[in-house]
């Protein structure tokens, strides 16, 4: 067998080197730039920590660092602690997740104390969320303004939600009057959440489903839980599904009142505590008669439940059109359940 010429050998060596370089370049491309820049092992350093052990000390600083127009989900982890600040998720930052990494929702608290007296009702919120597909989990959003300290402007919002397709899981929303505002453009799914307040503490014209949540009236003199302002052309407003309604005192709490004439609210398969006014669980508001609103119940149980002329009920056949999935589907078929 004849030996290859030196020209052939040079060609083989050059080809081999080129192939090795190509492999090396391909491997280099696969290394995530963030890992190369940050030697901290993934998952061990929170994004936000008030004690300085995170990348940022405030939740807002972490949100500000997310690029505008991000096309994929950005997860901001938040270490246990109290964060006294006002947080805004702008409309140009969708797919944002705020994830508490404490032992439970009460371990991570985002709180402020603005009120309607100085900021207007909608402007008083601790958190403003505009970016669609927002997610919050395992944390608390609170407004600790004390309504008893003011002669006017008692409203003090914890969460002002203007984001479509928002999901809140294991979240606490705490306030007095007007705790949670669900704006017209919002659809929200809340699972295993806790919401408390005194008057109209779930309100607005958006669509929200509370699944397996606890809703608590904390004032001993009671008040209405909801103040929906659902537009006449919108079939679905606020729904409490398999949730529990509790209160500080018995027979003092109303299921809701109509902020706008066509308000739509449904309590479906809920456990209604003794705090509910069984004889008249709905009430009028600002000239809007509750009987003209779309207030409904279906298969509720508990000491606060009942069926009579002041408690409109869905029939079994109607109930098929009033499921959580129907509430949330919209025109895009969204189903977060």
Give pLDDT tens digits along the chain (337 positions). 344 444 433 443 334 434 333 333 332 222 233 322 333 344 569 999 999 999 999 999 999 999 999 999 999 999 999 999 999 999 999 999 999 999 999 999 999 999 999 999 999 999 999 999 999 999 999 999 999 988 788 999 999 999 999 999 999 999 999 999 999 999 999 999 999 999 999 999 999 999 999 999 999 999 999 999 999 999 999 999 999 999 999 999 999 999 999 999 999 999 999 999 999 999 999 999 999 999 999 999 999 999 999 999 999 999 999 999 999 999 999 999 9
Position 92 in a domain:
no
According to DSSP, residue 294 is labeled E
Q: What are phi and psi of 40, to 5 degrees?
A: -65, 130
pLDDT of res. 202: 98
Token pair 């977060």 in the structure block, residue? 336
Position 246 in a domain:
yes
Sign of CA dihedral 217, 218, 220, 226: negative
Q: Which tokens belong to 236?
A: 């679905």
Q: How many CB atoms lie within 10 A of CB 110?
A: 27
Q: Is 200 a catalytic residue?
A: yes
d(CA 117, CA 152): 6
The total domain count for the chain is 1
pLDDT of res. 43: 55
| Annotated catalytic residue within 162, 164, 176, 200 | 200
d(CA 277, CA 305): 9
Position 227 in a domain:
yes
Q: Which tokens belong to 180?
A: 């949670």
Position 119 in a domain:
no
| Annotated catalytic residue within 178, 184, 321, 332 | 178
Q: Is 178 a catalytic residue?
A: yes
Token pair 């456990």 in the structure block, residue? 271
Q: What are phi and psi of 288, to 5 degrees?
A: -90, 120
Position 139 in a domain:
no
pLDDT of res. 150: 81
Sign of CA dihedral 178, 180, 186, 189: negative
Q: What percentage of residues in the chain have a pLDDT greater than 70? A: 87
Q: Tell me the CATH number at 290.
A: 2.160.20.10
d(CA 175, CA 154): 11
Position 281 in a domain:
yes
pLDDT of res. 149: 87
Position 205 in a domain:
yes
pLDDT of res. 10: 43
Residue range of the domain that includes 264: 198-330
Position 18 in a domain:
no
Q: Which helix (H) or strand (E) holds 129?
A: strand 127-129
pLDDT of res. 44: 67
Q: Which tokens belong to 318?
A: 């109607």
pLDDT of res. 26: 31
């Amino acid at each position: 067998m004849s030996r290859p010429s030196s020209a052939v050998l040079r060609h083989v060596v050059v080809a081999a080197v080129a192939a090795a370089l190509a492999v090396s370049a391909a491997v280099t491309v696969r290394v995530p730039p963030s890992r190369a820049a940050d030697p901290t092992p993934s998952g061990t350093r929170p994004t936000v920590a008030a004690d300085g052990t995170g990348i940022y000390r405030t939740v807002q600083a972490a949100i500000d660092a997310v690029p505008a127009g991000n096309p994929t989900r950005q997860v901001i982890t938040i270490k246990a602690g109290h964060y006294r600040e006002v947080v805004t998720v702008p409309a140009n930052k969708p797919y944002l997740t705020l994830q508490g990494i404490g032992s439970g929702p009460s371990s991570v608290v985002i709180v402020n104390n603005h009120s309607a007296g100085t900021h207007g009702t909608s402007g008083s919120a601790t958190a403003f969320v505009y970016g669609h597909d927002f997610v919050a989990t395992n944390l608390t959003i609170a407004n600790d303004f004390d309504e008893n300290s003011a002669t006017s402007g008692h409203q003090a919002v914890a969460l002002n939600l203007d984001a479509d397709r928002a999901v809140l899981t294991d979240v606490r929303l705490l306030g007095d009057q007007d705790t949670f505002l669900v704006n017209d453009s919002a659809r929200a799914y809340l699972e295993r959440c806790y919401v408390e307040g005194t008057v109209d503490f779930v309100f607005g014209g958006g669509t929200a489903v509370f699944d397996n949540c606890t809703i608590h009236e904390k004032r001993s003199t009671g008040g209405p839980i909801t103040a929906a302002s659902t537009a006449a052309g919108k079939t679905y407003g606020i729904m409490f599904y398999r949730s529990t309604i509790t209160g500080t005192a018995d027979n003092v709490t109303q299921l809701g009142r109509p902020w706008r004439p066509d308000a739509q609210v449904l309590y479906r398969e809920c456990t209604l505590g003794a705090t509910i006014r069984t004889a008249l669980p709905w009430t009028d508001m600002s000239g809007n008669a509750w009987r003209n609103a779309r207030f409904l119940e279906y298969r509720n149980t508990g000491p606060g439940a009942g069926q009579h002329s002041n408690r409109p009920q869905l029939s079994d056949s109607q109930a098929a059109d009033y499921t959580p999935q129907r509430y949330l589907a919209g025109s895009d078929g969204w189903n977060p359940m």
